[in-house]
Each structure stands twice: as C-alpha cells, then as structure tokens.
Amino acid sequence: MSTNAIDQQDTKPENDAEVHASIHDETIGHGNTPAAWTCVLIMIAGALVSSIGFVIASMLVFIAGLVVMALGLVVGWIMRKAGYGVGGSKLKNNGH
C-alpha cells in the first residue's frame, strides 16, 4: 500500500455554507422561462375555476376548469417549441 498524501487528503467541506454552496452551484433550469410561467399561470387559473365548480357543485364549471388546465399544458408545450423554453432560441443573449 502506498501512503500518498493526495490519497489521504480530507476533501469534505469545512462548514455548512460550503456544503450548501456545493449543492446549489449548478444550473439545472427549473423552468424560469416565459413558457413555464405561462403554462403554470394558465393551469392555476384552471384549478381556480375547477375548485369553484367543485364547491358550487357544478359539473360544467368543474370540467371547464379541467379543460383550461389541459390548455395550459398545450400552450406551454407550444411556447417551448417556439423557443421560449429552457435553452430556447428566443431567450439567447444576442450581445446587445
């Protein structure tokens, strides 16, 4: 067995701040894009409509809310394909 100084180095972070920084140092793209925000806002509106329909016992209003939520998914997908999603062409910095 060799006793190399590099093999025996302790590579653990010294404090909790370093641990926290090492966990959150990479960009993973949690959807901070116009496509994601639009999708979520439409779906929240649909959930609100559906909730109101549930409370007032109206199947028509409840189903309408579900349709609005499905529409939100479709709009988000279309916007992503149009370049407004993570890594989309419409969001790239053009140097100006």
Q: What is the pLDDT of residues 15-30, one digit of tens each?
A: 666 665 555 555 656 6
Cα(87)–Cα(74) distance, integer angstroms: 19
The winner for highest mean pLDDT among 4-13, 35-44, 83-92 is: 35-44
pTM value surpassing 0.75:
no
Question: How open is the CA angle 71-72-77, to the nearest 5 degrees?
Answer: 100
> Could you give the CA distance from residue 86 to residue 36 in angstroms, rounded to a whole number?
9
Let me know the angle formed at the C-alpha of 13 by 12 and 19, rounded to the nearest 5 degrees. 120
Q: What is the pLDDT of residue 89?
A: 80
Q: Tell which wins on pLDDT, 43 or 7.
A: 43
- How many C-alpha atoms does 34 have within 13 Å on its Cβ side? 12
Q: Has residue 57 got a pLDDT over 80?
A: yes
What percentage of the chain has pLDDT greater than the value 90?
47
